[in-house]
Chains A and B, each alone.
Chain A
Amino acid sequence: MHIKYESQLREPLVYGEKTFHQVTEDILRPIESKPSRLWYVGFFISVCLLMFGVYSVYREVTYGIGQWNLNKTIGWGWDITNFVWWVGIGHAGTLISAILLLFRQGWRTGVNRAAEAMTIFAVMCAGQFPIFHMGRVWLAFFIMPYPNSRGPLWVNFNSPLLWDVFAISTYFTVSLLFWYSGLIPDLATVRDRAFTKLRKKLYGITAFGWTGSTKHWQRHESLSLVLAGLSTPLVLSVHTIVSFDFATSVIPGWHTTIFPPYFVAGAIFSGFAMVQTLMLVVRKVFGLQDYITVGHIEMMNKVIVLTGSIVGIAYLTELFMGWYSQNKYEGYTFWYSRAYLFSPYGWSYWGMMACNVLSPQIFWSKKMRRNLFVTFFMSIIVNIGMWFERFVIIVTSLYRDYLPSSWSVYYSPSIYEIGFYMGTFGLFFTCFFLFAKYFPVIAVAEIKYVLKRSGESYKTGMEKLEAQPLDNFIHDNAHH
């Protein structure tokens, strides 16, 4: 049974007097008009960053991993920090589209398309780091399990690093399929409005010949629901497995059972922050304030304050366990290398605490949750904090381990390490700019689907319905 009614107490998801056609017009406008000067500037900067990244990677591939400042003790530094950071960001998209679909959260429709695109681009960026960290990247195919001429020598299926290979590649594939299957109907809308031959041809190819047949929609709904059901445990598994890379080792600071939930919460936290950053820009630049409303922003800020607090509890639990275990290596890592402000990396720990735990608490205030400037500022802060978190976990655990003679000197990245990171920003934003120009940034069909229930102008019409006797109301508003 499907009820065509939603309480007026709920905030409308679409503002203004909108018809179906108006929705199409509004959302497709950026695709059908020339991009603004701002778009060109942003795209140019992104491509420049990408080129610098390509050069940095070229240096690393040609001259070896010595181009980075890693050493025997700090074997994982910026590269793996960046890997985990990008994978974490890549969690919001599938969370929004899958988990919120299962929980019947209507507000996901405004942001899911762009968040899914963001996920795909973030995972693409993340994948670069472990691949190039291998050093001899031309042998990267050794991680694929297939009968080979090397023995046949197989990969180690008991290793978390191999689990990661499977997790990340599955996550990327499934996210891509989910995203694209949702895009097909919207690409068909673009195709049917095409005003040049080239557009008609290109969107014709990408729309796969979608017609909007009822039977196809029925299957499409079934597909979306099952993909959501599959993606929900998948999204939780991916960062769990990333945390296993650390948790299954015997390094103090990594060897903890709290890692999987703590990493997943952190991933959602940083992912939502990145969605906020992008959405605030997209809605402003493309004039989509009626579809990505302040209500949407507030919802995501609620998720941010929740997950930020979960992460905060995890930090405190770790500190407690560092003392309670009475293990001197754990105690040293947590209470000296991390929590002591004047230890070599103490600044990164307290940076993390300030950005991730303290500052998001501002979102307990509704006024702050609905303030766009505060939200934008906080979204950046959270992502800086989450980068610090991964840096803290990786570097402060490694730089002083069991044997003082192998303790490392202070580690700071080389220009090519930084360049590689900047390059992934270039890749991410280049992809996102192209996506925003050539694809509908909001799921058009899904907005139309919620429009008559949750659109502002339709909601005001529901006052009359609410005045009716209950039996009539049910009769009129529910059908099988």
Chain B
Amino acid sequence: MAQKKFVVGCFDDENVLFPAVKQVRSAGYKIKDVYTPFPVHGLDHALGMRETSLHTAGFIYGITGTTTAVSAISWIFTKDWPLNIGGKPHFALPAWVPIIFELTVLFAAVGMVLTFCYLCQLAPGVKKHHFHKRATDDLFVMVIECSDKTNTSDLQALLKSNGAIETNVQEAEEGWWFGTYDNDELPATA
């Protein structure tokens, strides 16, 4: 896998981070990502990310669960092995509502979590490059992708002047995962 060069700037306050993101982007640099210890609301928009469509996937999985339950139970009770239970109808939809509901929820939840793990490249034992150890503790770590023309010292100075408490240059491997969704290019300028 190709090695790439990144400039890393660490911030310790999200109120400093937001203007810095704006400055870096309007200066024409490409922010690869910002690593934060907790979800910072509005940061995805500030970075120009599109909304996630994970919930749509969840809806589709849910509907799949509903269909599976309805078709399986009705096939079993009307075609495969019709049971005479006190002369009641074989197609007893109201009595199936609980199981139909449970399977809807089960399919949606399991499907969404698996999709989430797939999209975010999460799995037991996966190792990724960590730009800063404290990104899961108390630092907001902005990572900017360098091209051949990028002057790293200029960029570091820009970050510093925007309140970064620590800057450095790192080389890291790009992702190795199957999907490409995660490598969606973020727009360079705001």
Contact = CB atoms under 8 A, between A and B. Distances in A.
Interface in A151-167: 151-154, 156-158, 160, 162-163, 166-167
Contacts of A237: 98, 101-102
B137 A24 contact: yes
Nearest to B47: A214
A174 B105 contact: yes
Given A209-B121, A209-B128, A211-B128, A226 B99 contact: no
A439 B108 CA distance: 27
A285 B96 CA distance: 47
Given A158-B95, A189-B136, A448 B121 contact: no
A178 B121 CA distance: 18
B1 interface: no
Contacts of A174: 105-106, 109
Given A214-B40, A219-B54, A173 B95 contact: no
Given A214-B33, A233-B101, A223 B137 contact: no
B127 interface: yes
Interface string B158-190: 000000000000000000000000100000000
A192 B134 contact: yes
A152 B36 CA distance: 54
Interface stretch (A128-136, A180-188, A342-350, A426-434): A180-188
B122 interface: yes
A19 interface: yes
Contacts of B92: 158
Nearest to A20: B138
A445 B37 contact: yes
Nearest to B90: A158
Nearest to B120: A216
B49 A214 contact: yes
Interface in B123-142: 123-128, 130, 133-138, 141
B3 interface: no
Nearest to A201: B125
A103 to B, nearest CB: 18
Interface residues on B, range: 35 or more
B102 A211 contact: no
B137 A20 contact: yes
Contact of B54 (A24, A162, A211, A226): A226
Q: How large is the interface on A (under 10, 10 to 19, 20 to 34, 35 or more residues)?
A: 35 or more
A365 interface: no
B136 A166 contact: no
Interface centre among B33, B36, B80, B103 (most CB of A within 10 A): B36
A157 B182 contact: no
Given A214-B40, A233-B101, A192 B136 contact: yes
B105 A234 contact: yes
B42 A480 contact: yes
Given A158-B85, A166-B98, A214-B47, A445 B112 contact: no
Given A174-B106, A206-B124, A237-B98, A212 B54 contact: no
A153 B77 CA distance: 11
Contacts, number: 196
Contacts of A463: none
A216 B38 CA distance: 11
A188 B127 CA distance: 11
A214 B34 contact: yes
A222 B134 CA distance: 24
Interface string B20-53: 0000000000000111111111111101010110
Given A214-B49, A445-B38, A449-B39, A21 B138 contact: yes
A156 B82 CA distance: 11
B113 interface: yes
B80 A154 contact: yes
B105 to A, nearest CB: 5
B42 A211 contact: no
Nearest to B98: A163
A459 to B, nearest CB: 16
Interface in B57-107: 58, 62, 72-73, 76-77, 80-81, 83, 85, 88, 92, 95-96, 98-99, 101-103, 105-106
B42 A177 contact: no
Most buried by B among A2, A188, A219, A241: A219
A170 interface: yes
Nearest to B129: A211
Contacts of A446: 38
Nearest to B21: A214
A192 B83 contact: no
B76 A209 contact: no
B103 A192 contact: no
A188 B133 CA distance: 10
A336 interface: no
Nearest to A448: B38
A464 B101 CA distance: 51
A244 interface: yes
23 contacts: A19-B138, A20-B137, A145-B76, A153-B81, A157-B99, A158-B85, A181-B113, A184-B122, A185-B38, A185-B136, A191-B136, A192-B134, A208-B124, A210-B136, A214-B35, A214-B49, A217-B39, A218-B52, A220-B116, A222-B55, A230-B62, A237-B101, A480-B42
Given A20-B137, A212-B36, A233-B105, 20 more contacts: A2-B42, A154-B80, A166-B99, A167-B98, A170-B105, A192-B136, A205-B125, A208-B123, A208-B126, A211-B35, A213-B35, A214-B47, A217-B43, A218-B49, A220-B116, A226-B55, A230-B109, A244-B98, A479-B42, A480-B45
